[in-house]
Amino acid sequence: MLSTILRHEWRVLRADRTAGIALFAFGAASALALLVGSSFARDRSESALAIARGADESLAKRREQAAAAPGPAAATRPAFGPNSPSTVGMSWGSVVVLPPAPLLSLAIGQADVYPASYTVAARTQESVQPGDSTESPLKLMTGHFDLAFVILFLYPLLIVATAFDLTSAEKEQGTLSLLLSQPVGLRTLVGGKMLTRILIIVAPAMLLPALGVLVAGSAGTPGVWGGRLLLWMFTVLVYGLFWFALALWVNSLGFRSTANALLLSGAWLLLVVVVPATVNLGVSLAHPVPSRVEFITATRVATNEARIKGSELLGRFLEDHPELSGDKGAESDFAVAQMARDRAVAEQLAPVLARYEDALARQHATVDRLRALSPTLLAQSVLHDVAGSGAMRQRHFRQQVEDFHAAWRSFFEPRVLQGTSLAAADYDAFPRFRFVDEPLLSIARRIGGPLLILLGAAFTAGILGLRRYRRFSMAD
Amino acid sequence: MSRDGRLRAALGLLVVLAVLSLVAGARYNASIQAEHRRASAEQRDLWLNKGEMNPHSAAHYGSFAFKPKSILASADPGLDPYLGVSVFMEAHRQNLAKYRPIEDATPARRLGSLTAAGVLQILAPLLIVALTFGAYSGEREEGTLKQILSQGVSVRDLALGKALGVALPVLLALVPVALAGATALLLFGSDGLAPDLPRVLLLSGAYLGYFVVWVGLGLIVSARAASSRAALVVLVSLWFANGFVAPRVGSLVSRWAHPAPDAAAFAKAIEADARAQPSWETLVKTSAEKLMAQYSVDSVDKLPVNPEALALVAGEDADTKVYAKHFGALNDAHGAQSRVYQMAGVAAPLLALQSLSMSLAGTDFAHHRDFADSAEAYRTQMVAALNESIVKHDRPQEIWDYKEGRLLWEKVPPFHYERPGTGFAVKHATIAVGALALWFVVVAAGLGPALRGLRVE
């Protein structure tokens, strides 16, 4: 019976121009979105490679210069240059690069705004500097025409366009009562109609990204993005199920088709446009982004004081490092004095920085909590997390950068204090940054919550709708 | 009627939210403005009290410029979240503005925040669509159109009546927002209402014009459509394309027309040009030769001016030119992208209104560039003043070792930036004004022919 319904519905939908146009528009939009996304991902890849290559090349050049330096290899307190640990470790530092997100071509997210590279130096103060950005502000404001946009905004409209008159059209035409005179229950009929539409719409929506990724290529190995792609497809399924369930429930209320269209479009407007915008407004008023300006001023004040108290700080620093007592070289080494000042500045700035990070964390936590108010907010956070272009991967990167920073410092600080010269062999021993993506399981665990809420909402709407269909009236 | 009641309630709620965002945002912006002013004063204090150091060290110590925040930005934040708030001004290099507020946000923020501009640009047209789609087609379907026209009401009067009927609720949306904007300026603006009042008035005029275009569009489609349903589908599709697709496509086109270099290429190009400049040794030698000829001496020690000081000035000039070239090209590209976006307003009126609104609110790229250029001009002036002290130092052999104090620091004036006036805003949005005007003309001209072919039943 179900297969008969499916075949019948397939024929009806094929004849319906609205469904055809909507599907075509969705397909065209998805194609454009994949083009835009893969072009962005390609640019990002090239840029990341260029930065990494540039860093490797300059490191190799400096290694050569260090090896070619005249004089005994064990010379202490070398002058500014590739042999000096303070120059290499504290002034030049190391450039660390974040490889592009695994599914960047599907969702650009915040990848155009978050820093993709940092310069790490063996100092405490301001020693992890993000790379600059020349991104067009207009592009950032208007947003990207990527597949995430198509899924979040257009996909629900497509579902509304094909499911708004699920039972209302047949009821208005009078064919519903005719159909139900056959030995088929209303709910089986409704189920069949839904299933047809789900197959026609959700299946392509799920498979499109797979096609896009295969054609356009993706960052990293299939091992990295394969699992994430499956999670993406599952998210598209769940998001679609929510909107279908909503359409089912609205149809079960028995209104006319035009009323259904208005209700569902209103729901789209509310859930996709107004609620996310209102949440953002609320969060910006309740937890405004902490000001960087305070941090800038505090840094200058601390640096000023450290410079003025320079020799006093150096004296105290040398007391903390008894191994240097009596080392006249250490006392007059600019780098050692710099280290002493850095310590003092870092101490003063620590509470300011902590306040800043605190306020930011609170804002992000509030946004996370309010996600449940809109399926679009939920789906968006999941899609970006899975693609790797959201806040979580950036946080993960930042953590690894901090770890690398600690390793870099512990390599160079003793050498700066002792004033040992760097040889080529030392260069080979430098800590090297290698980014490790989060395991799929931790991402899956994180998105479990939001997806469960979405599924729960879909399930509730679906059950409510099916229950209503028991009392469905054939009369207008 | 009941639908109208629900629509009015929905619109009322949105207007309340828009006004709330405007006023609360204005208060927040005023606090940001005060903070920036305080920070500038503190920076000046730190500069004056930084103690004694060599003037060239002072040039490296540098100064910070903080971008002022306009109160009207709460009505239309525009590009502000995506642009840096401070510029570090130091010797030898020009820096990009740092600390874009968007960098601290999660992806949810990219779904937009509810602003007065957002409500009026995206949601108000939807209300207009809801009020106009059945203007003619609805009456035709109900049979009342034939009745009205048979009573001698001219088609033109009917059009005017319909338009005015829609205008009232729309004005009910615009007036409170405009009043809220003016009040916010009065309450929170540090310079009061007067300097920005022309901007408020022009903004109101721009949005009014945009609404008129939508009313006209709605009436035209309603007159020509085969049915109310068709009219609604067409108008909603236009609304969606205008509101959600056009901005992204417009931005794509603008970047395709005027691509800007990415950060790595930008830095590399500057580095390459900098390396191509004459080296320090060459500069010193050239200065030495010139000075020795000028003072007719045969040895550097006999010169009253240290050639290294002149080399410093020459090197600084060369560096400034390199940065000016590349930063100029980058800013020109972004400015050209804005202009292409305005031109795309011919295809979608939202793009024109967005550009005009941002410009009048002071949150477009042109205003940012004005600030950045101002900071750069100050930077060259600051470094020049410090370098001049080195050149004129009475003991040329000690130019790198001697220290100066507060007396010299005071000679460098504090950084002061005045936001440009209304004329600047209009000048940089002329294309947008033209595009909106074109839409106005097309719609006004098209309404007549559309009504002439009006089917009565």
Sequence-ordered list of residues with C-beta below 8 angstroms from that of A65, at least 6 positions apart, any chain: A81, A82
Q: Which two tokens stand for residue A169?
A: 């059209």
In this prediction, residues A38-66 reach a mean pLDDT of 90
**Number of residues that this document lists for chain B:** 457
Which residues of chain A does B258 touch, with a Cβ-Cβ cutoff of 8 Å? none
CB contact under 8 A, A137 and B82: yes
Query: In whole angstroms, how large is the CA radius of gyration of chain B?
Result: 29
pLDDT reading at B369 higher than 70: yes
Q: Tell me which residue has tokens 């200058």.
A: A300
Which residues of chain A does B42 touch, with a Cβ-Cβ cutoff of 8 Å? 297, 300-301
Sequence-ordered list of residues with C-beta below 8 angstroms from that of B367, at least 6 positions apart, any chain: B359, B419, B420, B424, B425
Share of chain A above pLDDT 70, in %: 94
Q: Which two tokens stand for residue A47?
A: 């840029």
**In angstroms, what separates the C-alpha of B96 from chain A's closest C-alpha?**
8
Say if CB B181 and CB B190 are below 8 A apart: no
Nearest chain A residue to B7, by CA: A266
Interface of B with A in 107-166 (CB under 8 A): 107-115, 118, 122-123, 126
Share of chain A above pLDDT 90, in %: 42
Say if CB A427 and CB A66 are below 8 A apart: yes
Higher pLDDT, A240 or A215: A240
CB contact under 8 A, B126 and A269: yes
Task: Please name the member of A51, A134, A140 whose beta carbon is closest to the beta carbon of B266.
Answer: A134
Which residues of chain B does A139 touch, with a Cβ-Cβ cutoff of 8 Å? 251, 255, 337
Interface of A with B in 286-325 (CB under 8 A): 288-294, 296-297, 300-301, 304, 307-308
Q: Mean pLDDT lowest for which of B56-65, B72-81, B194-203?
A: B194-203
pLDDT reading at B443 higher than 90: yes
Nearest chain A residue to B126, by CA: A269
Query: Is pTM beyond 0.80 here?
Result: yes
Q: What is the H or E stretch that residue A169 is in?
A: helix A168-173
Q: How would residue A289 be classed by pLDDT, with cut points 50, 70 and 90?
A: confident
CB contact under 8 A, B96 and A138: no
CB contact under 8 A, A292 and B100: no
Helices and strands, counts by H and E, chain A: 20, 3
A441 touches chain B (CB under 8 A): no
Nearest chain B residue to A308, by CA: B51
Task: Please name the member of B102, B254, B330 whose beta carbon is closest to the beta carbon of A138.
Answer: B254
Is residue A97 helix, strand or coil?
strand
Interface of A with B in 189-228 (CB under 8 A): none
- The reported pLDDT for the residue numbered A91 is 86
- The reported pLDDT for the residue numbered A222 is 62
CA–CA separation, B286 and B280 (whole Å): 10
Sequence-ordered list of residues with C-beta below 8 angstroms from that of B261, at least 6 positions apart, any chain: A134, B269, B330, B333
Torsion of CA A444, A448, A454, A456, to 10 degrees: 140
Task: Please name the member of A36, A280, A293 whose beta carbon is closest to the beta carbon of B108.
Answer: A280
A452 touches chain B (CB under 8 A): no
3-state secondary structure B35-101: HHHHHHHHHHHHHHCCCCECHHHHHHHCEEEECCCCHHHHCCCCCHHHCCCEEEEECCECCCCECCH
Nearest chain B residue to A43, by CA: B262
Task: Please name the member of B85, B111, B251 whose beta carbon is closest to the beta carbon of A138.
Answer: B251
CB contact under 8 A, A280 and B109: yes
**In angstroms, what separates the C-alpha of B82 from chain A's closest C-alpha?**
5
CB contact under 8 A, A145 and B249: yes
Which residues of chain B does A280 touch, with a Cβ-Cβ cutoff of 8 Å? 108-109, 111-114
Task: Please name the member of B81, B114, B338 whose beta carbon is closest to the beta carbon of A138.
Answer: B338
Going by the DSSP 8-state scheme, the letter that residue A372 receives in this structure is: G
Nearest chain A residue to B21, by CA: A281
CB contact under 8 A, B263 and A364: no
Question: CA A221 → CA A38, A214, A326, A388, B147, distances in Å?
Answer: 16, 12, 55, 14, 71
pLDDT reading at B2 higher than 50: no
Indicate the angle between helix axes A310-320 and A334-370, nearest 10 degrees: 90
Q: Which two tokens stand for residue A151?
A: 């899924």
Question: Which of A258, A269, A297, A345 to mutate to test binding with chain B, by most B CBs within 10 Å of its CB?
Answer: A297
**In angstroms, what separates the C-alpha of B119 from chain A's closest C-alpha?**
9
A353 touches chain B (CB under 8 A): no
- CB neighbourhood size of A319 (10 A): 10
**In angstroms, what separates the C-alpha of A379 from chain B's closest C-alpha?**
10
Q: Mean pLDDT lowest for which of A123-127, A147-151, B94-98, B290-294?
A: A123-127
CA–CA separation, B216 and B442 (whole Å): 9
Winning range, highest mean pLDDT, from A31-35, A47-51, A451-455, B285-289 = A451-455
ipTM score assigned to the predicted complex: 0.90
pLDDT tens for residues B161-205?
887 887 777 777 778 888 888 888 788 877 767 788 899 899 999
Task: Please name the member of A142, A269, A288 whose beta carbon is closest to the beta carbon of B247.
Answer: A142
DSSP string, A105-161: TT--TTTTTS-SEEEE-S-STT-EEEPP----HHHHHH----HHHIIIIIHHHHHHH
Going by the DSSP 8-state scheme, the letter that residue A94 receives in this structure is: E
Higher pLDDT, A174 or A142: A142
CA–CA separation, B287 and B399 (whole Å): 15
Interface of B with A in 79-98 (CB under 8 A): 79, 81-83, 85-86, 96, 98
pLDDT reading at A72 higher than 70: no
Give me the residues paired with residue B361 across strands.
none
In this prediction, residues A169-173 reach a mean pLDDT of 83
In this prediction, residues B287-301 reach a mean pLDDT of 86
- The reported pLDDT for the residue numbered B1 is 35
Q: ∠ at Cα A55 (A49, A57), nearest 5°?
A: 100
In this prediction, residues A301-319 reach a mean pLDDT of 81
CA–CA separation, B181 and B177 (whole Å): 6
pLDDT reading at B48 higher than 90: yes
- The reported pLDDT for the residue numbered A205 is 92
Q: How would residue A124 be classed by pLDDT, with cut points 50, 70 and 90?
A: confident
CB contact under 8 A, B49 and A304: yes
Interface of A with B in 116-175 (CB under 8 A): 131-145, 149, 153, 157
Higher pLDDT, B107 or B64: B64
Interface of A with B in 173-192 (CB under 8 A): none
Q: How would residue A218 be classed by pLDDT, with cut points 50, 70 and 90?
A: low
How close are the terminal C-alpha atoms of chain B, in Å?
23
**In angstroms, what separates the C-alpha of B405 from chain A's closest C-alpha?**
13
- CB neighbourhood size of B328 (10 A): 13
Say if CB B304 and CB B397 are below 8 A apart: no
Backbone phi, psi, residue A119, to 5°: -105, 120
A341 touches chain B (CB under 8 A): no
Q: Which two tokens stand for residue B244?
A: 């959600």
Q: What is the largest CA-CA distance in chain B?
A: 107
CB contact under 8 A, B244 and A153: yes
Q: What ranges in A371-473 are assigned the alpha helix state H? A: 375-387, 391-418, 424-428, 440-469
pLDDT tens for residues A231-279?
999 999 999 999 999 999 999 998 988 889 889 989 999 999 999 999 9
- The reported pLDDT for the residue numbered A223 is 66
Task: Please name the member of A109, A136, A258 whose beta carbon is closest to the beta carbon of B255.
Answer: A136
Half-sphere exposure of A109 (CA within 13 A, CB side): 33
- The reported pLDDT for the residue numbered A463 is 94
Which residues of chain B does A381 touch, with a Cβ-Cβ cutoff of 8 Å? 106-108
3-state secondary structure chain B: CHHHHHHHHHHHHHHHHHHHHHHHHHHHHHHHHHHHHHHHHHHHHHHHCCCCECHHHHHHHCEEEECCCCHHHHCCCCCHHHCCCEEEEECCECCCCECCHHHHCCHHHHHCCCCHHHHHHHHHHHHHHHHHCCCCHHHHHHCHHHHHHHCCCCHHHHHHHHHHHHHHHHHHHHHHHHHHHHHHHHHHCCCCCHHHHHHHHHHHHHHHHHHHHHHHHHHHHHHHCCCHHHHHHHHHHHHHHHHHHHHHHHHHHHHHHCCCCCHHHHHHHHHHHHHHCCCHHHHHHHHHHHHHHHHCCCCHHHCCCCHHHHHHHHHHHHHHHHHHHHHHHHHHHHHHHHHHHHHHHHCCHHHHHHHHHHHHHCCCHHHHHHHHHHHHHHHHHHHHHHHHHHHCCCCHHHCCCCCECHHHHHHCCCCCCCCCCHHHHHHCCHHHHHHHHHHHHHHHHHHHHHHHCCCCC
In this prediction, residues B248-273 reach a mean pLDDT of 92
Q: Tell me which residue has tokens 């209402």.
A: B193
- The reported pLDDT for the residue numbered A476 is 57
pLDDT reading at A398 higher than 80: yes
Question: Which of B104, B275, B334, B403 to mutate to test binding with chain A, by most A CBs within 10 Å of its CB?
Answer: B104
CA–CA separation, A204 and A23 (whole Å): 10
Share of chain B above pLDDT 70, in %: 98
Which residues of chain B does A294 touch, with a Cβ-Cβ cutoff of 8 Å? 35, 39
Q: Which two tokens stand for residue B234?
A: 């067409």
- The reported pLDDT for the residue numbered B438 is 97
In this prediction, residues B201-224 reach a mean pLDDT of 91
Name the burial class of residue B298, with classes exposed (0-12), middle (13-18) and buried (19+) by CB atoms within 10 angstroms of its CB: exposed
Q: How would residue A96 be classed by pLDDT, with cut points 50, 70 and 90?
A: very high
CA–CA separation, A204 and A380 (whole Å): 19
pLDDT tens for residues B303-360?
888 888 999 999 999 999 999 999 999 999 999 999 999 999 999 999 999 999 999 9
Nearest CA among B188, B186, B214 for reference residue B127: B214
CA–CA separation, A1 and B41 (whole Å): 80
Question: Which of A53, A142, A164, A380 to mutate to test binding with chain B, by most B CBs within 10 Å of its CB?
Answer: A142
Half-sphere exposure of A175 (CA within 13 A, CB side): 8
pLDDT reading at A306 higher than 50: yes
CB contact under 8 A, B114 and A274: yes
CB contact under 8 A, A138 and B341: yes
CA–CA separation, B311 and A253 (whole Å): 84
- The reported pLDDT for the residue numbered A127 is 66
- The reported pLDDT for the residue numbered A74 is 57
Half-sphere exposure of B345 (CA within 13 A, CB side): 30
- The reported pLDDT for the residue numbered A73 is 55
CA–CA separation, B108 and B102 (whole Å): 11
Count CB pairs under 8 A between chains A and B: 190
Sequence-ordered list of residues with C-beta below 8 angstroms from that of A44, at least 6 positions apart, any chain: A100, A104, A111, A116
**In angstroms, what separates the C-alpha of A205 from chain B's closest C-alpha?**
19
**In angstroms, what separates the C-alpha of A472 from chain B's closest C-alpha?**
24
In this prediction, residues A422-431 reach a mean pLDDT of 90
Which residues of chain B does A135 touch, with a Cβ-Cβ cutoff of 8 Å? 82, 263
Q: Mean pLDDT lowest for which of A57-61, A145-149, B183-187?
A: B183-187
Indicate the angle between helix axes B365-391 and B307-343, nearest 10 degrees: 170
Say if CB B237 and CB A21 are below 8 A apart: no
